A and B are shown apart, each in its own frame.
Chain A
Amino acid sequence: MKLATYVARRIALFFPTIIGVMTITFVLLAALPVQDQLIARFGFPPRQDPCGYAKSCPCSVLDRNPKLTGTCNNPLFTRLTNKLHLNRPYEVQWAFYMENTFTFQWGTVSNNSEVAQTYAFSKGEPVSKFLGQMMPYTLELAILSLAIILLVAIPLGNLSAVNRNRPIDQASRVVSFSGFAIPPFLLGSLVVFGAFYLLLPHTGYLVTSPWCPTGEPLQNEIWKSWPSAGCYGNNVEVATLCPSWLSGCLLSHPTGFPTVDAVLHGYYWVAADTLLRMILPALVIAYGAIAGLLRFVRNSMLEVMNLDYVRTARAKGVPEREVVNRHAGRNSLNVTVTVLGLTFAFFLGGFPVIEDVFQLEGIGRALALAVIPGYFDFGVIFGSTILFTYLVVAANIIVDVLYAYLDPRVRLG
């Protein structure tokens, strides 16, 4: 099969997979009480609570349900449920849900959830817009983590493959397993506690960031003021000091990437501070992800090192370093590239725990705020699920195609 046909076939598989996952999501959404479905879709509950958690609902919407029959007497509720097609059969609801999924109408940020409390600008906004606004923060963190992973995992994996079963191999194995074994919330918190201990004694309660010309304190609660946007973040007192390009201390213009925008506007200290604050969380993320990648790099390198052409290269007198780096190393990267692609897709889904621990902004933090028990923001929860599914499915396709391109021996089919 030609590569073009293969690409077309893989892309054609995108839609069935998305529809399949979205059907599962739809079942879960439809299982929710009507009240919550309405909030997830429109961001606010109807004036009165005609259906909510009641045992019986006086709305024609629910006529299909023998337990919940009656007539609807709330005009707003009727309007909303009609708009959501809740009074139609489930298959029709499903069809409209699919349409909404593909047209980025993923619901609305709830009016009174923790997300809306934290990010005032998101109140009543479409979830896809809100997630798009948070994406640059997560993207910056993901790129930084990926850079660290690349810098560490590939050389270390090659090294341990070359020195197979020697102490350095065993050591890297133990290090990578410990990455699997420490949960990110624990490692992240230990890092924050460590920073707390190291920074606190020097100035007593208030620690001043050397990168803040205004001398804004980091405060004694470090995770309360560990924002990615320099000294600003979501700290209420400091929020008034935000420059005009950083509206609401969160949304930067024009690119949306806070570091890039800070440099564009000449706020170099904000850019430096933002990067500095992302280094520790990126290290924690990388530590967890290196564990998986190291194994792939090592195994694929081991396989390549046993191939005939490597032996030929050695036999004709190519220096060992050249053999490892150029002959074997290049070819062993095929598998690594695919694994890295999937890792990056998972990264883009956000880091709920890490962003929560380090108080960074991003999609993960929004999700962490949306899942506080009792204050669920179903719009954000379901919206993140859709986004994440898109990312993973797209990354799978890209990675497959990339692999077929990199390794022509792969049987396309």
Chain B
Amino acid sequence: MVDDSDVGAPTATAPVRRGRRPSPRIAQMKRTWYFLRRNTLAMIGLSVLVIIALVAMYAATTPISWLAMPFYCAANYGPDQTTSGWYNSSTHTDGPFNATSVASCHYICTYEVVPPPNAAHFCGGLWYKTPFILSGHNASTDCEQATYATCVSYPAVIAPTVNLATLNAGPMPLGSLATQIDSTGAFFNLYNGMLRGADWSLIISVSIVGIGASLGLLVGATAGFLGGAVDDALMRLVDIFLSIPVLLFVIVLIAVITTTIHAVAIPGFTILGHHFNQYILVDSTWTPLFTLILGFAAVWWPFYARLIRGQVLVVREQKYVEAARASGAGKARILFNHIIPNSVYPMFIQFSLDVGTIPLLIGGLVYLGFINLFPSAYFPEWGAISATSVLDIQSMLESCQVQCVVPWWQLFFPGLALFLYAVSVNLLSDGLRDALDPRLRR
């Protein structure tokens, strides 16, 4: 069928050039790319994704702190990172910042000069708008009373917004994006966290959806190709798994595993003189993360199984499959060489859609209190960072007694990254759908 919009598109029936005839699969890819290129929104999504992937690659290859290390003292705002001269960190009593001795890192902040009136202050786990320091080198009394004797003041780089009675959105501390993310007074380097987040968000979502999609592909293709009783049995299984609520199942799985794992007595063992005690397996820092990935993958595959089965049912009736069978190809060859490559295209659309939703779901889990899903509460995953920030700002607003500055930046940047990631993935998958489905192209 000739269509106006198809004019100029490379087609599989293009004049045969000399040499080997181009593979139909390559031709299909070229067609897809041709139509995708004309979709402005999809291209915007694709470019945002490419930027995120580049950031992730940069983060993976750069020796910045591996886990966006929380640090308990403000010494990281060294003289070279200070944006203004009125806060002189060289008066620290503790010497240079040392991540390994966080517990001992307590100091009382001193000021050389009286801070400007609009400065934002961090003290004892809260942001304040009122300056604590009255003059000179005196230590802040408020800081001494705080549990964590950490106190940092930031100069007001931007004029503060309209002063609402008790709360102020306050200026973001520019220069260093290092911010407090936990009201216990722990610091979290937001800049590092954002970089690492690109890395981990991609890795976790792609591995979850990847495991689910491959399992679904296997089950769906087998069911569709073999048909009969196998098909019936596998599809009942798919029905059962489709009836399981995703988020609830992951919650149940994690709750059960974290509860059970300590009750199971695993004997200790010794390899090459190294003794591993019985908790080495269950208390590994990575166990929660693996549980999360496996839990999601366990409920993610039935969608793909159903999708692929429907596609295989159509493809297996095609003439070329008949031709392959007539030329004596075996069942496995027909399935893997002829049927599966021709029925995976809709899977790509679903794949790209699902990859975008995973960080959102993880954020929801972390919001519900599953912070210990990750090796540390400061695990740099965009969903986790924004959920932790939400919880932190909530607890801060609840406990705010005097004028407080809301650290909006620690919510804004991870949230923006999450939003851009999910929107661009959705735009791309929508473009893919349009490009791959000839009926919608008209």
Contacts and interface: CB of A to CB of B under 8 A. Distances in A.
Contacts of B237: 20
Contacts of A170: 41
Contact of A381 (B236, B255, B369, B398): B255
B260 interface: yes
B29 interface: no
B153 interface: no
B415 A372 contact: no
Contact of B260 (A32, A55, A371, A373): A32
A382 B237 CA distance: 21
Nearest to A364: B368
Interface string A204-225: 1100000000000000110110
Given A174-B41, A385-B245, A389-B244, A193 B363 contact: no
A408 interface: no
Contacts of B419: 178, 181-182
Contacts of B236: 16-17, 20
Contacts of B430: 173, 177
B193 interface: no
Contacts of A53: 262-263
Contacts of B406: 193
B55 interface: no
Interface in B247-290: 247-249, 251-253, 255-256, 258-260, 262-263, 265
A396 interface: yes
B383 interface: yes
Interface in A236-291: none
A86 to B, nearest CB: 15
Chain B interface SS verdict (over half): helix
B11 to A, nearest CB: 23
Given A177-B426, A196-B167, A33 B368 contact: no
Given A173-B41, A223-B394, A178 B256 contact: no
Interface in B312-371: 356-357, 359-361, 363-364, 367-371
B213 interface: no
B364 A205 contact: no
Given A17-B240, A21-B243, A392-B245, A180 B357 contact: yes
A346 B164 CA distance: 40
A353 interface: yes
B166 A200 contact: yes
B265 A55 contact: yes
Contacts of A98: none
Given A32-B260, A376-B255, A193 B393 contact: yes
B360 A183 contact: yes
A349 B245 CA distance: 9
Contact of A21 (B244, B256, B259): B244
A131 B131 CA distance: 50
Given A183-B383, A185-B390, A32 B259 contact: yes
B251 A371 contact: yes
Query: Most chain-B CB neighbours within 10 Å: which of A174, A193, A201, A356?
Result: A193
Nearest to B418: A183
A33 B259 contact: yes
A28 interface: yes
A24 interface: yes
A184 B393 CA distance: 16
Contacts of B386: 183, 186
A31 B41 contact: no
A353 B245 contact: no
B243 A381 contact: no
Q: Select the residue from A55, A178, A186, A197 with max chain B CB neighbours within 10 A.
A: A186
B251 A353 contact: no
B248 A384 contact: yes
A166 to B, nearest CB: 14
B422 interface: yes
A177 B430 CA distance: 10
A73 to B, nearest CB: 20
Given A32-B259, A186-B386, A385-B248, A177 B243 contact: no
A376 B256 CA distance: 9
Interface in B425-442: 426-427, 430, 440
A356 B357 contact: no
Which of A189, A196, A346, A382 has the most C-beta atoms of chain B within 10 angstroms of its own C-beta?
A: A189
B372 to A, nearest CB: 6
Contacts of A196: 167, 397
Nearest to B406: A193
Interface string A49-71: 00011010000000000010000
Contacts, number: 161
Contacts of A189: 390, 393-394
B239 interface: yes
A83 B418 CA distance: 49
Contacts of B418: 181, 183, 186
A221 B243 contact: no
A155 interface: no
A382 B251 CA distance: 10
Nearest to B237: A20
A347 B264 CA distance: 37
Contacts of B223: none
Q: Which of B41, B243, B262, B397 has the most CB of A within 10 A?
A: B243
A162 to B, nearest CB: 16
Interface string A331-372: 000000000000000100100110010000000000110011
A25 interface: yes
Interface in B119-171: 164-167
Contact of A17 (B239, B262, B427, B440): B239
B256 to A, nearest CB: 5
A378 interface: yes
A388 B242 CA distance: 12
A393 interface: yes
A140 interface: no
Given A185-B363, A185-B364, A373 B369 contact: yes
A186 B363 CA distance: 9
Interface in B41-66: 41
A31 B41 CA distance: 48
B404 to A, nearest CB: 11
A376 B440 CA distance: 49
Given A353-B368, A356-B368, A381-B252, A204 B166 contact: yes
B409 to A, nearest CB: 14
Contacts of A29: 256
A205 B165 CA distance: 9
Given A197-B164, A353-B368, A371 B255 contact: yes
10 contacts: A17-B236, A32-B259, A53-B263, A177-B423, A177-B427, A180-B423, A183-B360, A189-B390, A352-B247, A373-B372
Q: Which 5 A-B pairs have the closest CB atoms?
A: A181-B422, A20-B240, A201-B165, A183-B360, A185-B367
Given A36-B259, A180-B422, 15 more contacts: A16-B236, A17-B239, A20-B240, A31-B260, A67-B265, A174-B41, A180-B426, A181-B360, A181-B418, A181-B419, A193-B397, A220-B166, A352-B364, A353-B368, A371-B370
Interface of B: 41, 164-167, 236-237, 239-240, 243-245, 247-249, 251-253, 255-256, 258-260, 262-263, 265, 356-357, 359-361, 363-364, 367-372, 383, 386-387, 390, 393-394, 397-398, 406, 411, 415, 418-419, 421-423, 426-427, 430, 440
Interface of A: 13, 16-18, 20-21, 24-25, 28-29, 31-33, 36, 52-53, 55, 67, 170, 173-174, 177-178, 180-186, 189, 193, 196-197, 200-201, 204-205, 220-221, 223-224, 302, 346, 349, 352-353, 356, 367-368, 371-373, 376, 378, 381-382, 384-385, 388-389, 392-393, 396
